[in-house]
Amino acid sequence: MPTTNPPKILLTGTTGFIGGTILTTLLSSPSPHLKNLTITCLIRGPDRAHTLTSTYGSRVHPVLYNDLNDLETTTAIAAQHDIVISTTLGYHLPSAEALLKGLKRRKEESGNEKEVWMLHLSGTSNVAGFPITGAHYEPTRSFDDTLHDIYAYEKTREEESSYIQRTTELGVVDLGLELGVKTVVLMPPTVYGMGTGLFNKYSIQIPTYIRGAIDVGKAVVVAEGRGRNGSVHVEDLADLYCLLLSNILSDNGNNIPTGKKGILFAENGNHTWREVAELVGEALHARGKLDSQEVRSVTLSEGTKIFASYLETVDEKMVESGLCGDSRTVASVARGLGWVPRRGEEAWKKGVREDVGMVLEILGR
């Protein structure tokens, strides 16, 4: 994206697990295209803004807004930027649309000479099969973002039954095409590891299993736990964002698929949900917090009641897709662009153990 002025980058979700890690990775990148960038951070609360500036100095520019529903501010700020990296809630369509509308305004103000981009964070539960209720479950199926039309598959699924994260993702792609904004969707599976940001350092899925085990007194899994899902370390995921941004800045992202083709996976390993429960049981038992490593099978209804205690507004469908679902993916596009994830099976096991320690610390156990 060669321009007379340095491109302006906006990051949302800076205080989150993934967004915070992306920020630190961008700021520490040795890439000549990234090392001098200033990142605007759309953020709530002057205290958080102060923490960012006192830590990162002039490399960050915090901008305050009320919350995700502050759409007017969101659009106005996005209109001052060329690239938006959106890592806030992947199921809040109005705020995503506000960002896209701001980018459209930015493009129009350049006389439509400037390309504008939005990198949107989603997740593989959008394509998950349901091994418990049986819907869309094919035990040997795997999605490859080079071989398969992921957009068309999601459209078909959405027509059959809406799923809020998928609804938002498809809305981003469709509105981006309508407005002339280049969109790239990042669709990671289970994201693990300790985040490197200043605020939230841990993920959601594994800690949910850990809290459930502590409350029940045994590691729990819904039904047989046979659904298989991918995994990616949060720092490897952040490296992919750096790669994409560097590509956009160096040659206008000519090799990056966008729009309907721009739905990218990010994985480096996979596991069944029973294996997750087993690792949780082993780690808690090793710390003397469970009497045994035994994994208890519960029904979907029971599992939803257990997990709903730690998650906002979940139902059986969301639990089955996000905490039990089968969504095997292959990140061919990312690897073809040069992404080399460095953390595999040992890092995965270490990540579960670290999450166990974190949850116990939070609970004072």
CA gap 350, 352 in Å, rounded: 5
Asked whether the predicted pLDDT for residue 4 surpasses 80, the reply is no
Exposed/middle/buried for residue 174 (C-beta within 10 Å: 0-12, 13-18, 19+): middle
pLDDT band of 53, cuts 50, 70, 90? very high
For the chain, domain boundaries? 9-193+232-268+328-342
Task: Name, in order, each residue with C-beta under 8 angstroms of 85's C-beta and a sequence gap of 6 or more.
Answer: 9, 10, 11, 12, 19, 22, 119, 241, 245
Query: Domain spanning 9-193+232-268+328-342 has what CATH number?
Result: 3.40.50.720
Q: pLDDT for 189-200, tens place per residue?
A: 999 999 999 999
Using the structure block, give the residue that is written with the tokens 């992202």.
253
User: What contacts 161, CB < 8 A, 6 or more positions away?
Assistant: none
Give alpha helix (H) positions in the chain: 17-28, 46-56, 71-78, 93-109, 150-160, 164-179, 205-216, 234-251, 273-286, 300-307, 316-323, 332-336, 345-363
The H or E element containing residue 228 is strand 228-233
pLDDT at residue 313, rounded to an integer:
77
pLDDT classification of 140: cutoffs 50, 70, 90:
confident
Identify the band that residue 5 occupies on the pLDDT scale cut at 50, 70 and 90. Answer: confident
Counting DSSP H helices and E strands in the chain, the numbers are: 13, 14
Instruction: Tell me the C-alpha distance between 98 and 256, whole Å.
Output: 23
Query: What CA–CA distance (Å, rounded) separates 306 from 85?
Result: 33
CA distance 222 to 299: 6
Cβ 317 vs Cβ 301: under 8 Å = no
d(CA 109, CA 114): 9
Say if pTM beats, i.e. exceeds, 0.75: yes
Please enumerate in sequence order all residues whose Cβ is within 8 A of that of 71, keeping only pairs 6 or more positions apart, or say none. Answer: 94, 95, 98
* Three-state DSSP state, 339: coil
Query: In terms of C-beta density within 10 A (0-12 exposed, 13-18 middle, 19 or more buried), how is residue 208 classed?
Result: buried
Are 293 and 281 in contact, with CB atoms under 8 Å apart? yes
Q: Is-contact 256 248, C-beta < 8 A? A: yes
pLDDT value, residue 2: 46
